Amino acid sequence: MGLSRHLALVPCLILSGAALPAQSPATAVLSGTVVDASGAPIAGATVRLASAMLPSDRLMTTDAKGAFRFPLLLAGAYTVQIIKEGFAAIRTQVVLGTGQEFRSSFRMASEAAAACVVEVVATSATVDATMVTSSCALTLDRVPSSRACLAPGVSGPGGAPASVRQASAAPNTEAYHAIQDNAFRSALRDPLSTFSIDVDTASASNVRRFIEQGQTPPADAVRIEELLNYFSYSYPEPDGKRPFSVSTEVFDCPWRPGHRLVRVGLQGRRLRLEQLPPRNLVFLIDVSGSMFEENKLPLVKRGLIRLCESLRPQDQVALVVYAGNSGLVLDSTPGSEKARIQEALSRLEAGGSTHGSAGIQQAYEVARKSFLKGADNRVLLCTDGDFNVGTSDEGSLVRLIEEERKSGVFLTCLGFGMGNLKDATLEQLADKGNGNYAYIDSLKEMEKVFGAGGASLVTIAKDVKLQVEFNPARVQTYRLIGYENRLLAAEDFNDDAKDAGEMNAGHSVTALYEVAPPGADAEVPAVDPLKYQSGERGLLKGSQDLLTVKVRYKKPDGFFSRKLEFPVPDASRPYASASLDSQWAASVAAFGMVIRQSPYRGTATLESTRAMAAQALGAHPDALRAEWTQLMERLRMPEESTVVASSR
């Protein structure tokens, strides 16, 4: 949507008055201050000035007093956009008169679901003015002129007295699936624990977003397995032709004396750009009205344009968008024409309702049409997940994806924005689409998800399942921490028709079990004694194994699985002697349990998890871990009394 259309529909200001001595008669000045809801100045806000009269956008950050100033501007129309992390973006248009300095105060709402119309009080030595701004998921051509916020004392149209009007805040409609922590199981009655791997990381970046906004994350937004898998670990590289390695470690549990933790780690093979197979990518982009905000469609465009820089001639990209309807913006185009792909991305604008199912169907149709054998064929869905037209309920969308995945096309879901993020839907779509799900809140996060040259988007193994068999002679009870929505029945492990998780190049998977040895104070729900068999029959009390880890996986284009098996000896080490990777994983898991107020958090508190994380950093801390440790320090939540749960 061009600037001219915005200016035609949004009330703008033509400034007039006496020339300023310091200003050339042919030019104008735009200056102002950016403040929060209380009127306090906001330093470090990015102010972007755009106009057809400028060769490129001008950028400036506000100083300690929240002030900014653009001098030597030609008279005419300008778009002003103000962005600050943790605040709703402001965007408005002004028309500057020759020789004028326009000064205004911009008030930023502290939440993304702020009022759609934000009060802007404009004052000037030469002129008072009114402006229209939009800070929610509305394009400016949808803001009716009657909702303009006028400064007190400023006359409205026709000289009528102006009044201050502000729309009510939009409701928060984010949606998460309920999570019930895995309970302890008896190793005698239920010796097998089976689950699908999960390489999603959305929960971690989403939790970070809440904490940075000064909020406690909702309990159901905290998926501990995704917090664990957000970080890289020094797991060994796979040898031979295996796509991943498997490693284990047993150490004392820091939040429950007498218990142990078992860490199981999988490390996917890392691939360089030249090692990647050809890529057949279809960018499926939500351009509905809810994607207007700066941290949605504009961020999508920047990230995908950056990804296109790594395209090779053997790669190909198509571009499908959807709003009220879906449409093919760019048919499958070779990577040698990356400038053409990037230009198509840069033209996208937001507006309309959200017919997600139509877009999904068209994207898969395009991917099938351009399918490359031996390549990574993938739909990359970028959305806030707010489907509201066509097939929109989660169950129907999941069934649609399950049908489409038969084509051999993988699905990656990237969630954007806040206030209406449909986390539960996107997680399920990625799970059923043989892909992964990540939440993107910055260009840095998108680059982390893509990996070097987009390598992390390439699948190296699919339908990866783990099954752990516990030795009842050495384990009384056990509990899998996290992976609540990835659990499988024991018989699913050998069933190649059963869908499971995918592993991409460079991905690592970490799982933690808390185990109680025989004789520990560990209770499980009682059942009646068996009438026709003895629960002790066949117990191998002489075995030195604590447990055995079994893994099944298929090649990306395979139909039959392969099995790997790794016995783990009963050899625990003190927590302080455990590897830094294991200590870090334990601190992250404990942090997640504290946020969730899990009944199994034992003695873990915010204070203790921060200390655990600081200890796990070691002498040469990983930058991401160091950043996360600082994030832990920022979280403030009511400390409840310590709960030592029974193993039920």
Confidence bin at 25 (pLDDT 50/70/90): very low
pLDDT tens figures, 137-160:
322 222 222 222 322 222 233 333
- pLDDT averaged over the chain? 81
| Weakest-pLDDT range from 202-206, 230-234, 430-434, 522-526 | 522-526
Q: Higher-confidence residue: 418 or 119? A: 418
pLDDT at residue 26 in the model: 55
User: Given pLDDT bands bounded at 50, 70 and 90, which one contains residue 324?
Assistant: low
Query: Residue 616 belongs to what H/E stretch?
Result: helix 606-616
Over residues 48-60, the mean pLDDT reads: 80
pLDDT of residue 224: 97
Enclosing H/E stretch for 298: helix 297-308
What's the pLDDT at 356? 62
pLDDT band at 289 (very low <50, low <70, confident <90, very high): confident
pLDDT digit string, tens, across residues 569-615? 999 999 999 999 999 999 999 999 999 999 999 999 999 999 999 99
Percent of the chain with pLDDT over 90: 49
In this prediction, residue 640 has a pLDDT band, given cuts at 50, 70 and 90, of very low
Q: Which helix (H) or strand (E) holds 193?
A: strand 192-196
Please give the pLDDT value at position 2. Answer: 39
Instruction: Give the pLDDT confidence of 420-458 residue by residue, as tens digits.
Output: 677 888 888 888 888 889 999 899 999 999 988 888 889
**CA angle, 471 as apex, 467 and 477 as ends, to 5°?**
85
Degrees to nearest 5, angle at CA 317 with 315 and 322: 160
**Rounded-to-integer distance, Cα 26 and Cα 540, Å:** 92
Q: What is the dihedral of CA 501, 504, 510, 513, to 10 degrees?
A: 20
Contacts of 395 (CB under 8 A, 6+ apart): none
Grade residue 393 by pLDDT with cuts at 50, 70 and 90.
low
State the average pLDDT over residues 402-408.
Answer: 86
CB atoms within 10 A of CB 249: 18
Q: Cβ distance 585 to 247 under 8 Å? A: no
Q: For residue 85, is pLDDT > 90?
A: no
What's the pLDDT tens digit per position in 540-574?
A: 667 899 999 999 999 998 999 999 999 999 999 99
Element (H, E) at 285: strand 279-286
The pLDDT tens digits for 460-517 are: 999 999 999 999 999 999 999 999 999 999 999 999 999 999 999 999 999 999 999 9
User: Would you say 28 and 96 are in contact if contact means Cβ atoms under 8 Å apart?
Assistant: yes
Q: What is the pLDDT of residues 345-359, one digit of tens each?
A: 998 887 765 556 778
Overall average pLDDT of the 119-143 stretch: 32
Q: Find the angle CA(177)-CA(181)-CA(187) to the nearest 5 degrees.
A: 140
* Proportion of the chain above pLDDT 70, given as a percent: 80
Q: Which pLDDT does position 97 carry in this prediction?
A: 77
pLDDT score, position 353: 58
Q: What pLDDT sits at residue 5?
A: 33
Q: How far, in Å, CA of 251 to CA of 15, rounded?
A: 71
pLDDT at 113 over 50: no
- Residues 157-171 have pLDDT tens digits of 333 332 322 333 345
Residues 6+ apart with CB under 8 A from 194: 465, 466, 467, 468, 487, 488, 489, 490, 492, 493
Residue whose token pair is 């659990």: 487
